[in-house]
Structure 1
Amino acid sequence: MNSHEIDYQILGDSIQIVEVELDPDETVIAEAGAMVYMEQGISFETKMGDGSRPDEGFFGKLLSAGSRIITGESAFMTHFTHRGVGKGHVAFAAPYPGTIVPLDLSNHPQNTITVQKDGFLCAALGTNISVTFNKRLGSGLVGGEGFILQKLVGDGMAFIHAGGTVIEKTLYNEELRVDTGCVVAFESGISFDVQRAGSLKSMIFGGEGLFLATLKGTGKVWLQSMPIRKLIQAIAPYGKNNDKGSSSILGEFLSSD
């Protein structure tokens, strides 16, 4: 199935929105809850599956939905179609601050990009979104991240999101070691593994975590400066202090009566 040819513009800086322009009967698919606004003439429908295989049977769709649940995503995807005349617009935003990366899948080897499990935002109808697993089960599980990934295949536009700033690097039969949470996406020519981070001393006292992701091969990789895990860790202590402060103030107030 050929992907629909959609136009788009990315709005904003640190918390971005992608606005997709649809011609009549064009469709864009998105993660549930990603939509920000849609103009008159745009209709939406929640479906099981990405719609890339219209002849796929119920059990095939059920299997696909089940694999998405494993990644922590919704079993359903939302299909937005322009039913009016002229141009129609619908916009999507990521669930946390960061950057939206537009990818024309037809410009990448095998029309394929592998993405972190929560990195997909939206894509032209016809894009196949499936779950793939790190071949090295042990390292993926012990590393805590990178075991479950999503594979995007198609010939149209797809949009992924990353936390903080996005760094795009091209490897030429090279190896790059990265914090496991900082890997956003990579092309089909790149192999991905999770390995122990140096000696026992550096693992415990180095502050870089126990494991690092190893990207090896030839192709493009996309990295993020602020994965959601680090963002949560950074703000968690302040939340605890606020809770303690609130409890202390509440206790003094009650004891004064």
Structure 2
Amino acid sequence: MEEQVEFQPAYAMLTLSLAAGEAVRVEPGAMVAQENVTMETKSSGGFFKGLKKMAFGGESFFLNTFTGGAGGGWISLAPSAPGDLAWFDVQPGRQLFIQSGSFMASTSNVQTDTQFQGLKGAFSGESMFFIRAYTEDGMPGRVYYNSYGAIKAIPVQQGQTVTVDTGHVVAFEDTLQYQIGKVGGMKSFMFGGEGLVMNFSGQGTIWIQTRNLSGLASILIPFIPTSN
């Protein structure tokens, strides 16, 4: 599989070249254009896993599998919101955690389900669940994820603590631990304009986005007409 990314970082689009019989799983609505590929729609990881992802992870119940036809084909993908995209190779026995709504596609051997982020997540303004991506066939798998705004990778070393606003987390490696908390005291939390944050420690990489969809929504709400 070959990748080509265009129009980064504001309006990124990913084009995958598929050999004959090569397949990629895609979140519904992400396909922009394609040539000589077939599509099959299935529940994501089976009925109960798909239902759990839809109810708690903010993802679709179904995933579309696109397979290269005879002689190969290609498919172009793009996220719904303006922003960037990237990919990560999940090694056997490892996991990648992705913020709800940021999963876009994966190779056919990648499995996904949901991971609860704790009760404090209910007050963060974001989803309480992350998407967990992993493989079970002993082979690495590639995950494609998207952001609102540009993506920046932040490496975390042993002994460090890196704090990220919950609305700006896109993905992180399973070698990291985190705690959800607030910046400053209660007064700062209530009146300082900042919500809950994630404090990461361990050793691994966090990927963050430069914009926050919840922040955009809060700006737009006062301008939305309401009926009397």
Query: TM-score, structure 1 length as denominator?
Result: 0.80
SS state of the match for residue 11, structure 2? coil
Distance in 1 (alpha carbons) for counterparts of 2:93 and 2:207: 17
**Is residue 74 of structure 2 the alignment partner of residue 93 of structure 1?**
no
Q: Any gaps of 5 or more consecutive residues in structure 1?
A: 1-5, 51-60, 248-257
1:188-217 CA distance string (max 9 Å, x none): 1111221133212211221112x2221121
- The answer for unaligned runs of 5 or more in structure 2 is none
- In the alignment, structure 1 residue 133 sits paired with structure 2 residue 116: yes
For 1:45, what is the secondary structure of its paired residue? strand
Separation in 2, partners of 1:157, 1:20: 12
Aligned residues: 220
What is the aligned partner in structure 2 of residue 34 from structure 1? 30
Instruction: Establish whether residue 162 from structure 1 lines up as the match of residue 143 from structure 2.
Output: no
The match for 1:208 among 183, 194, 198 is: 194
Answer yes or no: is 1:149 the counterpart of 2:130: yes
Counterpart code for 2:80? P
Listed one character per residue, the Cα deviations across residues 85-121 of structure 1 (whole Å, up to 9, x for unaligned) are: 1x31101110101110121223xx8432111011100
Pairs within 5 Å for 1:1-257: 6-13=1-8, 14-39=10-35, 41-50=36-45, 61-70=46-55, 71-85=57-71, 87-106=72-91, 110-134=93-117, 137-145=118-126, 147-154=128-135, 155-173=140-158, 174-209=160-195, 211-237=196-222, 239-240=223-224, 243=225
**CA displacement 1:42-85 (0-9 Å, x = unmatched):** 110111125xxxxxxxxxx1111111112222211000011221
How many angstroms does 1:156 deviate by?
2.4
More helix by share: 1
Identity %: 26
Q: Which amino acid in the other structure matches residue 185 of structure 2? A: S
Are 1:129 and 1:151, in contact at CA under 8 Å, matched by a contact in 2?
Answer: yes
Deviations 1:16-47 (A, max 9, x none): 111011000010001111100011x2110111
Q: Is the 8 A contact 1:146 1:180 kept in 2?
A: no
Q: What's the Cα RMSD here?
A: 1.8
Runs of 4+ in structure 1 off by over 4 angstroms are: none
Give the AA of the match of 2:38: S
C-alpha spacing 1:149/1:35, structure 2 compared with 1 (3 Å): same
Question: Structure 1, residues 213-246: CA drift from partner, whole Å, max 9, x if none?
Answer: 2112110110111121122223334x33xx48xx
**Aligned counterparts of 2:76 and 2:178: Cα–Cα separation in 1:** 32
CA contact (8 A) 1:34 1:93 kept: yes
Q: How far apart, CA to CA, are the structure 2 residues paired with 1:116 and 1:75? A: 16
Alignment-mate amino acid for residue 105 of structure 1:
V
